[in-house]
Chain A
Amino acid sequence: MKKSIERIKQMVVKEFIQIFRDKRMKAIVFFIPVMQTLVFGYAVTTDVNNVPTAVYDLDRSSESRELIRRFSASGYFDVAFSADSPSRLQDALDRGAILLAVQINRGFSADLKKHQPTSIQVLVDGTDSNTAMVAVDYVNRIVQKYGRELSGANVPQRLDVRSRAWYNPELKSKNYNVPGVIAMVIMLTSLLLTSMAIVREREIGTMEQLMVTPLRPAELILGKTIPFALIAIFDVVLVTVIASLTFHIPIRGSLLLLLLCTVIYLLSVLGIGLFISTIAKTLQQAMMATFLFYMPAVLLSGFMFPIENMPPVFQYVTYVNPLRYFLVIIRGIFLKGNGILLLWPQMAGLLALGIAMITVSSLRFRKRLG
């Protein structure tokens, strides 16, 4: 046992020397996850603000100007220009210069003054269905509010709706997405590094040298995995600290629990990386297999697409996806302050997945070495 630990230690030392012999690897391992989290934390936003908008005001009255002012004052719309013909609106939409066009016809203010129902024309670029849907909702709210104010109090408001959003009262998408980005970035880096590490020994031909040493297969696997686990844990801490400082993401739950869950998460991610390395013969195959697993894993994790909207078959598939469990955990700890009582099913799922993957790949690995 003592000898075994000593051998694993030697192997870990060798791995660290090998990883960092190429100076660029230091930058890759520490700088890239941080940079990605920062860039993608800012990029991944589903908030709809500053929708580029054009107006075509044929009425040119104080009422129409007030309506346009409300559009720009809302912050949701950025009234980029006033068109002087309908064809310019169409052209701007075609070119993608604007996403929304508002046309106010002649007679708008006259109708309003006579207390007659009136209308405005709104054109939306539906290419981005999500932005379009949210933008149309904002248009309705602004226009209806203005309409109600103009028609005075003679329309009784029958329902007094009080809505609140819990956990993220300002509905900021970065609070939801940044924890997800952390999980996603860590997964890619650690998957790619582990899956390629063993294959590389085989491809360069140093695997034979390892096999003539007294290292046992299990020791070899542990020695290969521990360095990446340590690097990944360090990365998680680094990225979490930088992300929460930069994006002011609230951390409502226990950091210790987060660390514990991260370790379990990495266990399953590294297990999958090891499994890939038992299938792949070349680095090319390892890289492609990693992506073949990673892309569906991101898409079927609930990172951007809610799992409950998926057809049942795909919902079952998500149970073998470590990212699925970890997203619930990391978002729960960050935003909801969830404790172990609520998160234990996710932790159990990750643990089971991790143990299964590591067992299967150890068995496969032993067979290939033998």
Chain B
Amino acid sequence: MKFLRIKAIAKKEMLQIRRDPLSLAMAFLMPALLLIIFGYAITLDVNNLTTIVYDRDRSSMSRELLAELTASQYFTIVRHAETPHEIDSYLDKGKARVALSIPADFSRDLRAGRAAQLQIIVDGSDSNTATIALGYLTALTERYSLQLNGGRAAPAIDPRVRVWYNPELKSRNFIIPGLIAVIMVVIAALLTSLTVAREWERGTMEQLIATPVKPPELVLGKLIPYFLIGYLDMAITVVMAVFLFEVPLRGNVALLAVISAVFLFGGLSLGILISIVTKNQLVASQISMVATFLPAFLLSGFMYAISNMPPVLQAVTRIVPARYFVAVLKGIFLKGSPLRLLVWNALFLVIFGLLTFVAANRKFKKKIE
């Protein structure tokens, strides 16, 4: 292996990247765009749930309950229904997600010391929002119930809940560290999965084969420029996450830098491996999407908790490298985990990087079929 030849390949690759400024621009635009969307546009936090109210009681007590409902910020009353049919129509059309129906004898029952009825309907199609909405409503009605009892009956057992690592339960803090992993996987796959296949399709591979360059030199030479781009992307992402979105970075930055480099190396090697094996850009793009992007997005624990998946799928996630990197990122960012706690994840990433790099080298044949 000669350093000079690696350098020559890297230089050639860099020239090629420079000639395609549109792709390069997109490589930097992608992480920024994703971060902005995750930082500003979307949230898993449930608030301002559209609510339709059908109040047949129209008493001071029912109004008091509704005032509590709107004061909570979780619910926005979009309509006071005149007939029960309106509830159906609002829920069917998706104009409201929650319906609250107060019967005519609500205040009379309460004054008489009887239990008063209250009917709640939620649009269950989005089960997550519905579960959280029901939780809010249960807490709200229980509090109201306690107030009616004059606050005398304190709950028998008071669960004192403390939330660690992300005390305000901000979904932004939960998602952005994992997003870094997803961005890097996507960039790595997009950048490298076509790079060898392209040479085959355009016929420039024959020229490369005619040179004395050896497979490891070619793979490394192709890797280096993309590594630099990917690493810069990752640095931009981390800086934006910490300074723009104020995600806490509690752990060691150097540790983050080292493990990210290991992961990026593996991701790029995988892209090159796909490119070498397929020799066809159309096939390579589809395979890299299936092998990298979607698992990183959905099977890494980035957004969907692995412990909620069926056991078979949980076993599958064990071979998804992004899973380990997401665990590392969340650990370093939110928990301030030291290397001691992350050592198995890091070790897996090292093994993954080595395996894909070796496989890419072995699969690359300097032969024309």
Residues in A lying within 8 Å of B, measured CB to CB:
22, 24-25, 28, 32, 35-36, 39-40, 42-52, 67, 78, 93-96, 99, 112, 115, 117-134, 136-137, 139-141, 143-144, 146-148, 150-151, 155-173, 175-176, 188-189, 192-193, 196, 200, 203-204, 280-285, 287-289, 291-292, 295-296, 299-300, 304-306, 308-311, 314, 328, 331-332, 335-336, 338, 342
Going nearest first, the 8 A-B pairs with the smallest beta carbon separation are A165-B124, A147-B156, A126-B166, A168-B124, A137-B135, A305-B42, A46-B128, A163-B120
Given A28-B283, A127-B334, A151-B156, A49 and B129 touching (CB < 8 A)? no
- Contact (Cβ within 8 A) B163 A132: yes
CA distance A311 to B36 in the complex (A): 12
CB <8 Å contact, B48 and A200: no
A120 CA to B281 CA in the complex, in Å? 59
Whether A292 and B40, one on each chain, are in contact in the complex, defined by CB atoms closer than 8 angstroms, is: no
CA distance A88 to B155 in the complex (A): 29
Q: Are B157 and A119 touching (Cβ within 8 A)? A: yes
Q: How far is the CB of A111 from chain B (nearest CB, A)?
A: 9
Known: A125-B164, A292-B29. 15 other contacts (CB 8 A): A43-B313, A120-B158, A122-B161, A136-B161, A140-B139, A158-B145, A163-B134, A165-B121, A168-B130, A196-B285, A284-B190, A287-B285, A288-B23, A291-B30, A310-B41
- Closest CB of chain A to B5's CB: distance in Å? 24
- Point out the residues of chain A lying under 8 angstroms from B110, CB to CB: 158
- Whether A129 pairs with B159 at a CB distance below 8 angstroms is no
A200 proximity list for chain B (CB < 8 A): 281-282
**Are B309 and A45 touching (Cβ within 8 A)?**
yes
Whether the Cβ atoms of A166 and B121 lie closer than 8 Å is: yes
Question: Which among B26, B45, B294, B304 has the highest number of chain A CB atoms within 10 Å?
Answer: B304
> Cβ of A24: which chain B residues have Cβ within 8 Å of it?
278, 280, 283
**Partner pick for A43 among B44, B121, B159, B309, CB 8 A cutoff:** B309
**Minimum CB distance partner of B336 in chain A:** A94
What's the minimum C-beta distance from A96 to chain B, rounded to whole angstroms? 7
Q: What CA separation (Å) do A127 and B273 show in the bound complex? A: 34
User: In the complex the two chains form, is B157's CB within 8 Å of A159's CB?
Assistant: no
Q: Give Cα A127–Cα B166 distance, bound, in whole angstroms.
A: 6
Q: Mark B177-219, 1 if CB is under 8 A from A, else 0.
A: 0000000001000100010001001100000000000000000
Take A126-B166, A203-B202 as given contacts and tell me if A160 and B307 are in contact as well, using a CB distance cutoff of 8 Å.
no
Q: Chain A residues near B367 (CB, 8 Å)? A: none
A44 touches B298 (CB 8 A): yes
Residues of B within 8 A of A332 (CB): 94
Choice from B125, B134, B168 contacting A335 with Cβ under 8 Å? B125
Are A117 and B285 within 8 A (Cβ)? no
Residue of B20, B139, B305, B335 most packed against chain A (CB within 10 A):
B305
- Nearest A residue to B295 via CB reads A39
Q: Which of B22, B30, B91 contacts A295 (CB 8 A)?
A: B30
Q: Assess whether B164 is in contact with A124, with CB atoms less than 8 Å apart.
A: yes
B137 interfacial contact with A, CB 8 Å: yes
B104 at the interface (CB under 8 A from A): no
Q: Chain A contacts of B40 at CB under 8 A?
A: 311, 314
Taking a contact as CB atoms under 8 Å apart, the answer to whether A308 and B123 are in contact is: no
Q: Which of B6-14, B146-154, B259-267, B350-358 contacts A (4 or more CB under 8 A)?
A: B146-154
Q: List 22 A-B contacts (CB under 8 A).
A: A39-B298, A40-B294, A42-B312, A126-B166, A128-B174, A133-B135, A137-B138, A139-B159, A157-B145, A160-B117, A161-B118, A166-B123, A173-B128, A192-B286, A193-B282, A196-B282, A203-B201, A282-B198, A295-B33, A300-B37, A304-B303, A310-B42
Contact among B33, B91, B124 with A171 in the assembled complex (CB-CB below 8 Å): B124
Instruction: Tell me the number of A-to-B contacts counted with CB atoms below 8 Å.
Output: 346
> B residues within 8 A CB of A342?
92-93
- Contacts A43-B313, A47-B308 given; indicate if A159 touches B156 (C-beta within 8 A): no
B145 to chain A: closest CB distance in Å?
4
Chain B 62-100 interface 0/1 with A at a Cβ cutoff of 8 Å (1 = within): 000000000000000000000000000001111000000
Contacts of B168 in A (CB 8 A): 126
A32 pairs with B148, CB closer than 8 A: no
Contacts of A140 on B, CB cut-off 8 Å? 135, 139, 159, 161
Closest to A172 in B: B127
In chain A, what residue has the closest Cβ to B170?
A129
In the complex, the answer to whether B47 meets A309 with C-beta atoms within 8 Å is yes
Taking the complex as formed, is B222 at the interface, i.e. its CB lies under 8 A from any CB of chain A? Answer: no
A302→B27 CA distance, assembly (Å): 25
CA distance A67 to B157 in the complex (A): 11
Residues of B within 8 A of A160 (CB): 115-118
Chain A contacts of B289 at CB under 8 A?
188, 192
Query: Once the chains are docked, how many angstroms separate the CA of A291 from the CA of B305?
Result: 24
Cβ-neighbour of B127 out of A46, A132, A156 (below 8 A): A46
A167 to B99, CA, bound (A): 14
CB within 8 Å for A93 and B120 given contacts A192-B286, A204-B201, A287-B285: no
Interface pair A336/B125, CB less than 8 Å apart: yes
Q: Does B360 contact A (CB under 8 A)?
A: no
Max chain A C-beta neighbours (<10 A), residue from B118, B131, B309, B337? B131
Asked if B331 lies at the interface with its beta carbon under 8 angstroms from chain A, I say yes
Question: Which residue of B167, B171, B287, B290 contacts A130 across the interface (Cβ within 8 Å)?
Answer: B171
- Closest B residue to A136 by beta carbon equals B161
Give bound CA distance, A203 to B280, whole Å. Answer: 12
Q: Does B169 contact A (CB under 8 A)?
A: yes
- Measured in the bound complex, the distance between the Cα atoms of B158 and A42 in whole Å is 36
Contacts of B228 in A (CB 8 A): none
Cβ contacts under 8 Å, A94 to chain B: 335, 337, 341
Q: Is the CB of B124 within 8 A of A169?
A: yes
A122 to B221, CA, bound (A): 53
Residue pair B308, A49 in contact (C-beta under 8 Å)? yes
Q: In the complex, A95→B118 CA distance in Å? A: 44
In the bound complex, residues from chain B placing their C-beta under 8 Å from that of A335 are 125
Chain B residues with CB under 8 Å of A308's CB are 48, 50
Among B41, B45, B130, B148, contact of A300 (Cβ-Cβ < 8 Å): B41
- Interchain CB contact under 8 A, A129 and B280: no
B346 in the interface (beta carbon within 8 A): no
Q: Are B198 and A45 closer than 8 Å at their CB atoms?
A: no
B245 lies within 8 A of chain A by Cβ: no
Which of A124, A128, A299 makes the CB contact (< 8 A) with B37?
A299
Whether, in the assembled complex, B234 has its beta carbon less than 8 Å from a beta carbon of chain A, the answer is no
A127→B330 contact, CB < 8 A:
yes
Contact of A165 with B122 at beta-carbon distance under 8 Å, contacts A44-B298, A129-B170, A133-B169 already known: yes
Query: In the complex, what distance in Å separates the CA atom of A269 from the CA atom of B128?
Result: 28
Inter-subunit contact B116/A158 (CB<8 Å): yes
Question: B348 at the A/B interface (Cβ < 8 Å)?
Answer: no
